[in-house]
Amino acid sequence: MAGGSGGKNFVNRPSASDTGGLPRGAMSRPVVTRFAPSPTGMLHIGGVRTALFCWLYARKHGGRFILRIEDTDLDRSTDDNIRIIEEGMAWCGLDWDEGPVPGDPTRWIGEHGPYRQMQRMESHYKPAVERLLHEGKAYRCRCGREELDERRKAVEARGVPFQYNRGLDAGNGCRNRQHDASEPFAVRLKMPEGTEPWLDEGAIAWTDLIKGRLAFPAASMDDWIIARTGEGCEIGVPTYNFCVVVDDTGMEVSHVLRGDDHVSNTPKQIALYQAMGFERPEFGHVPMILGKDGAKLSKRHGATSITEYQAMGFLPAAVRLALARLSWTPKVDGQAAETAEEELLTDAQMIELFDLKDIQKSPARFDMDKLSWMNQKLIQRASWRELEPHLRHFMPQKWNENGDDWKRIAITATQKGKSLKEMEESLAFCWKRPAEADFDEKAVEKFMTEAVKPALQEVTTLTDYDHDALQAAFNGILERHGLKLKDLAQALRVALCGKPVSPPIFDTMYLLGREEVLARLARWLGE
RNA sequence: GGCCCCAUCGUCUAGCGGUUAGGACGCUGCCCUCUCACGGCGGUAGCAGGGGUUCGAGUCCCCUUGGGGCUACCA
C-alpha cells in the first residue's frame, strides 16, 4: 500500500532541483501545481481526481504541490468544510508540500502563505486591486444589482445575450465614468477590445497542455467584476477569478491543472495576467468525470463524496488508481496495458509514468465496478499487516482483543473480498452467535442430517485447533463415518454460523476457538 | 440562445492512412473446489450518421446528430 493513508506527512520536502524532462520545452522554472477547492460542502470525487493529477505531476517532476482553500464565497464556506477537505486529502494520501496545517486556521506550511484566501485580503488582493485601479486597467462600477438585472432582462427580451457595456448595453456601463470612491462600488476589469497586439487574431488564446490550442474572441467577453461591492466605500471581497490569478502568481504555480469547467474562465484570467503584468503559467484542463448515465456526476449517481468511498471499504490506493485511470492511459514505452496485471499500477509506477499527453480530451464515466475490482486486487496483494490498520476501522471493539496470529488468519481467510466492509461481514460470525431466528432453514434441513451428527459429536472431542491438526483429525472422522468433507463442513457451518457460508472450515473453527465451537455445537447434539 | 469542448465494445481505453480493430472491467460458458469466493481457459460486444480527400479512412476535412462545460457582485 504505497502512498499511505496516515496523512501526517506535512513536512516540507526537499525542493528537488531536478526538473529534467520538462515537457515541450515549456519553461525552466520549477514545477509547482496546486489544488484549490472551495470549502462549500463535501470533498467531491471529481475534485480528488483533479488533485491527484496535480499531485502526480508535481511528484513526477520533483516539484511542489500546494493545497489552497478558496473560501471567498462567504455564504457557503465553513471551517467544518475546510476540515473535511483536509481529512479527505489526507485519507487519499495526497500530501501537500504547502498549505494549511489541518485543523489549525492560524498556521500553515510553506513560504507563500497564508493558504486560505480570506486571510490574504489585506496583504495580497486589495493592493492588487488598487494598483489596477490606479493604472486605469480596472474601474469602479456603481451599477446596482437591481439595475443590472433590469438591463439584462431588457437585452435578453430581444433575444440577444447580455454583455455588460457591450452590444445593446453599450454605453450603459461605468467604464468611462471615472467614479471615485465616495459611494459603494464594485470593481471591473477592462477587457481587451480586440485590437490589442497581445491578442491572437483578436482572440485570447493559449495552448492547453491537454486540449491543445484554445481561443476565445475578445469581443465575446465583457468587463467582469474582480471585486464585489464592499462595506461602505471600501473595496469588497475579490472574486474567484481574480484571487486565483493573484495567488497562482504569488505562489509561483507553474502548471495550472484543473477541471474542464474552468476552460471558459481562462481567457478572463489571461486578460488579468496581462493587466497585472504577470507571467502566465501553463494551463491544462482535465476532462470531467460523468456519472453512469453520462450526466455530470452528482448525488443521484450514488456516492460523490470521498468520505463515502472510505466508508464503503475502499482502500485509498484503490481510489487513487481508479481515479487516475479515468481519462488517463499510462504508457510503458508507448504501450498501454495489455493485461489485467498491468492495469494495477502502484503509486510509484503512476508517478513514473504520468504524462499529460496521455490524458484524454473527452470526459469519462465513473465505473464503480472497476473501482471494486481494483480494490479487490489490491486487497489480495496486500500483506495482512498492511491491511490491518485499514480493516480495524470496520471492526467491532473485540477485534483489538485478538493477537497477531488470530488477526493474520482472520484476514487471510477473508482476503478475497471486494472491500474491507465485505471482509468485516464475512467475519461477523466471530462476534455474533446465531440466534434461533438466524438459522437458514433450508440449509439446516439439507446439511444437518442424522447421518452427520455422530461425526459432529466426534468433532467436539478435538482439542488441537491448529489447521494441520484439524485436517488430520477430520480425515479420520470422515473415514470412520463414511462421509465426505463437504458433508461435515457444511453441517458445521450451519451449526457454527447459522448458514452454509463461511471462511474455510478449519479457519472458521480456529477463529471461533474450541470453547465457542462447543457452545454452538451443543444446540445440535444431545442436550 | 451565445461561446467553447468532446465522440472506438455497456464502461475505461489502444489505434496516430493499409490491423482478423487490441486490452481491461462487466456479463457469460467450462474447469478447479469443504461453502462463498479466488483462480485458470474460452465467449460476448464497438469505429454515431452523411458527405468529401485518397489507390485505400476508425484514423484527414466538412456537415448533421448526440453529449458536456461556461454564460453571476458562485467557485
Task: Report how far residue A294's alpha carbon sits from residue A64's, in angstroms, rounded to the nearest whole number.
Answer: 34
Tell me: pLDDT of A16 over 50: no
- DSSP H or E segment with residue A289: strand A289-290
The predicted pLDDT at position A54 comes to 97
Task: Return the minimum-mean-pLDDT range out of A5-9, A327-331, A507-511.
Answer: A5-9
DSSP characters over A351-397 = HHH--GGGB-SS-EE--HHHHHHHHHHHHHHS-HHHHHHHHHTTS-G
Task: Report how far residue A273's alpha carbon sits from residue A267's, in angstroms, rounded to the nearest whole number.
Answer: 10
Tell me: pLDDT of A229 over 80: yes
Confidence of residue A255 (pLDDT cuts 50, 70, 90): very high
Task: Report how far residue A473's alpha carbon sits from residue A471's, in angstroms, rounded to the nearest whole number.
Answer: 6
Total count of residues recorded for chain A: 527
- DSSP H or E segment with residue A225: strand A225-229
Grid coordinates given for A329: 492511459
Radius of gyration of chain A (CA): 31
What is the number of alpha carbons within 13 Å of residue A474 lying toward its C-beta?
18
Tell me: pLDDT of A78 over 50: yes
Nucleotide with C1' nearest the A501 CA: B35
Phi, psi of A382 (to 5 degrees): -80, 155
pLDDT tens profile A120-151:
999 999 999 999 999 999 999 999 999 999 99
pLDDT tens profile A464-487:
999 999 999 999 999 999 999 999
Confidence of residue A527 (pLDDT cuts 50, 70, 90): low
Here the ipTM equals 0.95
The predicted pLDDT at position A5 comes to 32
Closest CA-bearing residue to C1' of B73: A228
Closest CA-bearing residue to C1' of B10: A292
Question: Whose CA is closest to A315, among A344, A354, A291, A338?
Answer: A344
DSSP characters over A475-488 = HHHHHHHT--HHHH
Q: Is the CB of A103 under 7 A from strand B?
A: no
What SS3 class is residue A490?
helix
Grid coordinates given for A482: 463414511
Closest CA-bearing residue to C1' of B23: A338
Tell me: pLDDT of A25 over 80: no
Confidence of residue A19 (pLDDT cuts 50, 70, 90): very low
Task: Report how far residue A269's alpha carbon sits from residue A283's, in angstroms, rounded to the nearest whole number.
Answer: 11
Grid coordinates given for A501: 457460508
Ramachandran assignment for A136, one of left (phi > 0), alpha (psi -120 to 50 degrees), beta (any other) = left
CA angle A413, A414, A415 (to 5 degrees): 100
Nucleotide with C1' nearest the A374 CA: B25
Confidence of residue A14 (pLDDT cuts 50, 70, 90): very low
Name the average pLDDT for chain A. Answer: 90
Tell me: pLDDT of A3 over 80: no
CA of A433 to C1' of B47 (A): 57
- Residues A419, A381 contacting (CB under 8 angstroms): no
pLDDT tens profile A39-71:
988 999 999 999 999 999 999 999 999 999 999
- Residues A10, A86 contacting (CB under 8 angstroms): no
| Three-state secondary structure string covering A43-58 | CEHHHHHHHHHHHHHH
What SS3 class is residue A207?
strand
The predicted pLDDT at position A161 comes to 87
Across the range A324-337, mean pLDDT stands at 93
Q: Is the CB of A358 under 7 A from strand B?
A: yes
- Residues A48, A297 contacting (CB under 8 angstroms): no
The predicted pLDDT at position A220 comes to 87
| Strand B interface, A 432-491, C-beta < 7 A | 484-486, 489-490
The predicted pLDDT at position A7 comes to 28
Which nucleotides along chain B are within 7 A of a protein C-beta?
A: 1-8, 10-15, 22-26, 34-39, 67-75
- DSSP H or E segment with residue A469: helix A467-481
What percent of chain A has pLDDT above 70? 94
Closest CA-bearing residue to C1' of B27: A369
Q: To the nearest 10°, report the CA torsion of A368, A345, A85, A376.
A: 40
- Please report the beta strands in A82-154, taking only residues with DSSP state E, as ranges in sequence order: 99-101, 104-109, 138-141
CA of A413 to C1' of B74 (A): 50
Task: Report how far residue A431's alpha carbon sits from residue A439's, in angstroms, rounded to the nearest whole number.
Answer: 16
DSSP characters over A404-432 = HHHHHHHHHHTTT-SSHHHHHHHTGGGT-
What percent of chain A has pLDDT above 90? 82
The predicted pLDDT at position A73 comes to 87
CA distances (Å), origin A161, targets A148, A151, A153, A193, A485: 14, 11, 10, 18, 77
Tell me: pLDDT of A253 over 60: yes
Q: Which contacts (CB < 8 Å, 24+ apart) does range A447-452 have?
A: A447/A487, A447/A490, A447/A491, A447/A493, A447/A494, A447/A500, A448/A491, A448/A494, A448/A495, A448/A524, A449/A487, A449/A491, A451/A481, A451/A483, A451/A487, A452/A481, A452/A483, A452/A487, A452/A488, A452/A491
Q: Is the CB of A269 under 7 A from strand B?
A: no
Tell me: pLDDT of A18 over 50: no
Nucleotide with C1' nearest the A145 CA: B73
Classify strands A212-217 and A203-208 as parallel, antiparallel or unpaired. antiparallel
CA distances (Å), origin A361, targets A143, A258, A465: 40, 13, 58
Tell me: pLDDT of A6 over 80: no
Across the range A300-312, mean pLDDT stands at 88
Residues 6+ apart with CB under 8 A from A407: A384, A388, A399
Ramachandran assignment for A167, one of left (phi > 0), alpha (psi -120 to 50 degrees), beta (any other) = left
The predicted pLDDT at position A20 comes to 32
Grid coordinates given for A87: 481529512
Tell me: pLDDT of A156 over 60: yes
Q: Which residue has the higher pLDDT, A297 or A357?
A: A357
Nucleotide with C1' nearest the A77 CA: B75
Q: Is the CB of A264 under 7 A from strand B?
A: yes
Across the range A200-215, mean pLDDT stands at 92
Tell me: pLDDT of A364 over 80: yes
CA of A360 to C1' of B51 (A): 28
Task: Return the minimum-mean-pLDDT range out of A284-298, A365-379, A483-497.
Answer: A284-298
Residues 6+ apart with CB under 8 A from A343: A325, A337, A374
The predicted pLDDT at position A219 comes to 87
Tell me: pLDDT of A21 over 60: no
| Strand B interface, A 61-80, C-beta < 7 A | 70, 72-73, 76
The predicted pLDDT at position A28 comes to 67
Grid coordinates given for A235: 473595496
| Strand B interface, A 486-525, C-beta < 7 A | 486, 489-490, 493, 500-506
